[in-house]
Every structure is written in structure tokens, then in C-alpha cells.
A = this chain, B = another copy of it.
Amino acid sequence: MKHNFSAGPSILPKEVFQQAANGILNFNDLELSILEISHRSKDFVEVLDRAVALVKDLLNLPDTHKPLFLTGGASSQFFMAPMNLLPSGQTAHYVDTGSWSTKAIKEAKLFGEVNVLASSKADNFSHIPKDYKVPSKGAYLHLTSNNTIFGTQFPSFPESPLPIVCDMSSDIFSRPIDAEKYGLIYAGAQKNMGPAGTTLVIVNEELLGKVDREIPTILDYRTHIKKNSSFNTPPVFPIYVSMLVMEWVKKQGGLEAMQKRNEGKSQLMYGEIDRNPLFKGVSAKEDRSHMNATFVLKESGLEKEFLSACDDAGCEGIKGHRSVGGFRASMYNALPVESVQVLVDVMQEFERTHG
């Protein structure tokens, strides 16, 4: 049996794989595949409407906040957010917490002034900056809620007089949020939401229409609001699977249940990292991610042996990102606690044999 700790694309619920495979062979008993039906067919429009309703329901969105299913990944939102929300000459504030926010900052500079309000770059992004005050003047505050590579996560969000634009790619649907605070939320699907191929964007429509620049039709959020994510052919199958995953989340008890489940797993994981004399965690304890636990061997040299022991136990995707090294255990919503226990067992066995 495999235990999938991959950082993304990543584990999804087993029952969703079965439903998705069935949908490919015979969708809704139509004797047609979900891959060959029109995106304007009644059957797919129902899927899309249900997906939108589930986003609203799970995140408890106010009516101003419109969920869109786009493509291009969070990387496309790095430029689309300022293109739509940052009038030229105005300032957007960014908190720099890792590679992804660094990339978001780079793209925003093409559209207006960017103020890096705080950064943990000097510490290789091992913590979330805390000592800053969000100005009251500016277009928005940009945050990256969870940093997959470095294993940090905002434990809570700063008070902000400005609307928050937040990249939630790696922790959306993992805990409840206060949606009112956000002007824009975006997330590539391929962690907690679904397979690679669609990007969820939630935009407060009251913030739109305030920039002067000419925006290509398909890059204007208003186009997609007006056309209910079907201005052109949407990524039918990735949206279908995302809908199935959100149904699963709802059935498990919604985001409160997800949070409890995720905290249980991360407690088990970090408990072992802290207890085991061979290992140590990488990120600041107070900012540890419930999604991605980063850790290293206290004394280097046995990395290959540990990865090989993980492999033997069926634990996949444990190798750390090259910018941090060591190991990373990603524990997204769909990962069962039993898989974390298997990894903990491997670490304990490793202590016995190599301690």
C-alpha cells in the first residue's frame, strides 16, 4: 500500500478516484464519457453549478464574493491580481514568505508600485514575519497563507484595513476562514481541491472596474463572473473532480472537521520530529504548517538511507525541496492519519537502527 506525501499534485480521496474513473467510462448513465460531452450540456452545467455552490457553502462566502474556475495556476494569478486590482501609480503591499510570494511580487511590479511590507527571506523563510503594521493606504495586502516549500503557514492573519489578496493554493479548504476579509483568494486545485488543471479564484466583485488599463477580455475577472466560468471551454474534467472532492469534504463535516483532522495529523508528525533525537524541524514552531512538515537529520549523511526506508514502507514524496533540503511530509486533507503513523513508525525504526 502506498502512502502519498507528495507536495502537489497530491493525494485525493480514494472514493473520488473511483467516481472519476466511472465518469470517464459512463458519465451520469449517459453512455458517454465526461471527457466527450459539451461544456454547455445540462449534465456539465449541473457539475459546474454544484462546484460553485460547494465553494460558497464550504467557505461561507458573502454574496459579493464570486467563485470562478479558471486555468493557468496560481502563477497566472500573480499577474492577473495586480492587472485587475492595482491601478497604475498606486501601491500594493506584499508580505514575502517564500518562493511563491517572491514570484507574485515580481509580476505585480509590472503594474504598479509594490511595497514589500515584511519578509523572512534573510532566515531562508523559516518563519512568518510578525512585526509590521498594514498601512491604510494602498490597493491591497498580498499574503501567501501556506508555504509548501518552507513548511510555514500563517497561524492567523494580520489585521488589515486593506482588502487581503491571498494565495491559498496549498491550504484552501484545510481550515475555516473569514471570507469577508479577502478581496481575492486564489488557489491552484492540485493540493486540497482536485487534480492539476483548474484554478479557483474567489473575487469580491466590488473591487473590480477600478483600473484604467486595457485588459484582454479573458484576463478580466468580470468576463468570467458574467459568463459563470464558461466564457470559453472550461477545464471540464478537473472541475468535475474538484466538485467530487468538495462533496467529500462536506460529507466529512466541512472545514471544521478538516481542521481537526489536519491538526491531529500534524501533531502526530511534529511530535515525532521533536521527540526523535535523529531529526529536527526546519520552520519556527509557532508558524509550522499543518500541510507540509519540513524536517532534516540533525547530523547529515544518512539522508539516502532514510529515504530508502520511507520507500520500503510505501511512503512517497518525502524528499525535501532543493531550496530547503532534507525531508517534507505533505499532509493534505485526503491523507489519512494512518499514513502519518506509518511514517512515524519508519522514523522510530530508523532511530532504533541508526540512533
Give A residues with C-beta under 8 Å from B: 1-2, 4, 6-12, 17-18, 20-22, 24-25, 30-33, 35-39, 71-76, 78-79, 83, 103, 106-107, 110, 188, 190, 195-198, 214, 216-219, 231-238, 241, 316-317
Contact = CB atoms under 8 A, between A and B. Distances in A.
Given A190-B233, A196-B236, A233-B9, A316 B218 contact: no
Contacts of A38: 6-9, 317
A4 B34 CA distance: 12
Nearest to A231: B75
B32 A12 contact: no
9 contacts: A2-B30, A2-B31, A8-B233, A9-B37, A12-B35, A17-B25, A73-B218, A79-B216, A107-B216
A36 B11 contact: yes
B188 A79 contact: no
A73 B232 contact: yes
Contacts of A219: 79
A2 B32 contact: yes
A197 B71 contact: yes
A22 B71 CA distance: 25
A197 B24 contact: no
Contact of A233 (B188, B218, B235, B317): B188
Count of this chain's copies in the oligomeric assembly: 2
A18 B21 CA distance: 9
Nearest to A218: B75
Contact of A9 (B25, B35, B72, B238): B35
Contact of A238 (B2, B7, B235): B235
A79 B218 contact: yes
B196 A234 contact: yes
B106 A217 contact: yes
Contacts of A32: 2, 4, 316
A21 B237 CA distance: 12
Nearest to A107: B216
Contacts of A2: 30-32
Nearest to A316: B32
B25 A21 contact: yes
Contacts of A235: 71, 196-197, 235, 238
Contacts of A73: 71, 218, 232-233
A234 B71 CA distance: 10
B195 A237 contact: yes
A79 to B, nearest CB: 4
A263 to B, nearest CB: 23
Nearest to A32: B2
Nearest to A238: B197
A270 to B, nearest CB: 23
Nearest to A7: B38
Contact of A72 (B7, B17, B35, B218): B218
Nearest to A6: B38
Contacts of A83: 216
List 8 tightest A-B contacts by C-beta distance, closest first.
A197-B235, A71-B71, A79-B216, A75-B232, A35-B195, A21-B21, A21-B24, A73-B232
